[in-house]
């Protein structure tokens, strides 16, 4: 039976390169992979892409795989990628009479949103440092994002972070794919952005199968082998 195509969805600030190590390993196991870039990441307000543009970019990639290439898709979503990816796939689940479809969702310490939720600024968002340039950054990224990486890796990944727009990005979630598609949630117990209790609450709301690890927020960098194991196990359950 063909293996599902793995589609990686990053969170804000980080870009798809955080998945490179995991993607290379997953590819070596015989999976096709594709990572999505969020149009808003690296942009500044005013006139910036919104989260709806991010959802549209995700949808375009998944729709092509599902409808044109008739692929089964397993989506791996980190942080804000959780609610962005879930919102982007309305009508793209596996259906009778269609070969392709999104068959599984994997959430990595991910943000989850119910339908109707409006996305406003959160405490870990720095609204002042880049204000004059129309940029929004992460508050204390060394401590919040990279708390379990080496000093050398921390400096490397700090240099690769990109801004998000200061304003005009947030909107309302209109669809939640996790209501229809089975999922796995990897709780990262040392996450300083999304606390363990939040992740546990979200995974319970979604009804996910729960996996756990001791990672901080950037689990694809600090514990890539664990992420690969979760993806491989999820694919085998399809």
Residues carrying an active site annotation: 191, 217
| Per-residue tokens: 201 | 């609450």
Q: What count of residues does the chain have?
A: 238
Residue 91 class from Cβ within 10 Å (0-12 exposed, 13-18 middle, 19+ buried)?
middle
By C-alpha distance, which of 166, 202, 218 is closest to 82?
Answer: 202
11 neighbors 218 (Cβ within 8 angstroms): no
From the DSSP assignment, how many helices (H) and strands (E) are in the chain?
8, 9
Q: Strands 135-138, 164-165: parallel, antiparallel or unpaired by DSSP?
A: antiparallel
Contact in structure between 65 and 5 (CB atoms under 8 Å): yes
Question: What is the four-CA torsion angle of 78, 36, 103, 26, rounded to 10 degrees?
Answer: -80
Residue whose entry in the numeric block shows the structure tokens 């400096």: 155
Q: Which helix (H) or strand (E) holds 59?
A: helix 51-63
């Amino acid at each position: 039976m063909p293996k599902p195509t793995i589609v990686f969805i990053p969170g804000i600030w980080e870009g798809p390169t955080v998945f490179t190590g995991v993607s290379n390993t997953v590819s070596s196991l015989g999976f096709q992979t594709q990572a999505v870039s969020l149009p808003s990441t690296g942009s500044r307000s005013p006139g910036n892409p919104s989260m709806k543009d991010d959802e549209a970019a995700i949808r375009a990639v998944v729709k092509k795989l599902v409808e044109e290439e008739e692929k089964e898709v397993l989506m791996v979503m980190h942080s804000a990628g959780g609610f962005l990816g879930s919102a982007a796939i309305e009508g793209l689940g596996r259906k009778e009479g269609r070969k392709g479809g999104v068959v599984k969702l994997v959430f990595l310490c991910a943000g989850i949103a119910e339908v109707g939720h409006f996305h406003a600024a959160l405490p870990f968002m720095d609204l002042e440092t880049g204000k004059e340039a129309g940029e929004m950054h992460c508050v204390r990224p060394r401590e919040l994002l990279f708390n379990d990486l080496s000093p050398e890796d921390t400096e490397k990944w700090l240099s690769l972070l990109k801004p998000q727009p200061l304003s005009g990005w947030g909107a309302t979630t209109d669809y939640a794919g996790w209501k229809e598609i089975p999922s796995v949630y990897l709780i990262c117990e040392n996450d300083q952005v999304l606390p363990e209790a939040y992740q546990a609450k979200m995974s319970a709301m979604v009804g996910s199968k729960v996996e756990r690890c001791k990672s901080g927020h950037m689990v694809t960098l600090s514990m890539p082998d664990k992420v690969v194991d979760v993806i491989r196990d999820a694919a085998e359950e399809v």
